[in-house]
């Protein structure tokens, strides 16, 4: 479960890692949520939000998810899929 700060930030931007049935969304689905829900923020606001959601240690990975969105996640998945 996310920390209280992460949960509050996710609620603030209507970001969820799970669907209505409690199943975790795909990485592409999560990345697309980040792009659409945080897209109107300034870079400073977006980095702060991503830091609160994912923790500052994971900020680089979260930023890559935001920047690439679902298309890049799907592209990467196709490239590494056996």
**DSSP bridge partners of 24:** 18
pLDDT average, residue stretch 11-15: 96
Instruction: Measure CA of the first residue to CA of the last residue in the chain; give whole Å.
Output: 32
To the question of pTM greater than 0.75 for the whole model, the response is no
Closest CA to 35 of 51, 52, 15, 9: 15
Query: In this model, does residue 11 exceed pLDDT 90?
Result: yes
């Amino acid at each position: 479960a996310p920390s209280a700060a992460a949960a509050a930030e996710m609620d603030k931007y209507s970001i969820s890692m799970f669907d209505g049935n409690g199943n975790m969304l795909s990485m592409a689905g999560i990345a697309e949520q980040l792009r659409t829900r945080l897209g109107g923020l300034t870079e400073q606001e977006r980095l702060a939000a991503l830091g609160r959601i994912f923790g500052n240690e994971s900020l680089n990975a979260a930023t890559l998810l935001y920047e690439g969105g679902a298309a890049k996640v799907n592209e990467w998945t196709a490239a590494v899929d056996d």
